[in-house]
Amino acid sequence: MKAKVYVTIKQNVLDPQGSAVQGALHSMGFDEVGKVRIGKFLELNLSTSDRTEAEARLTAMCEKLLANTVIEDYRFELEG
């Protein structure tokens, strides 16, 4: 089973990378761009076919290591 994990800076926390990219897009004339948030994308191959089990394990992985929940949010998708 494949898991896709997305980690992003929380909405109320300044994302300097996102702000820099937003500024660059504006200076290039893409004025329609509002807020930009940059995050991390992780692809994990899991050796399990039990969806419930995989979800519980992924939540633990995200809470413990993959995201710093003080400043980051996470979500994941399971495929297969």
Partner 1 sequence: MKFAVLVFPGSNCDIDCYKAVEDTIGQSVDYVWHTATDLSAYDAILVPGGFSYGDYLRCGAIARFAPVMNEVVKAAEQGKFILGICNGFQILTEAGLLPGALRRNSGMKFICAQTQLEVVNHTSAFTSEYNAGEIIDIPIAHGEGNYYCDEETLAQLKTNNQIVFRYAGDTNPNGSIENIAGICNERGNVVGMMPHPERAVDEILGSADGKRMFTSILNAWREQHGAAVNG
Q: Which CB contacts under 8 angstroms, 24+ apart, belong to 59-64?
A: 61/5, 62/5, 62/7
Binds partner 1 (CB under 8 A): choice among 2, 4, 17, 56: 17
Of 59, 10, 62, give the one whose Cα is nearest residue 39: 10
Residue ranges in 28-67 that form contacts with partner 1 under rule CB under 8 A: 40, 65-66
Binds partner 1 (CB under 8 A): choice among 24, 56, 60, 71: 71
Binding residues (CB under 8 A) for partner 1: these are: 9, 13-14, 16-17, 20, 40, 65-66, 68, 70-71
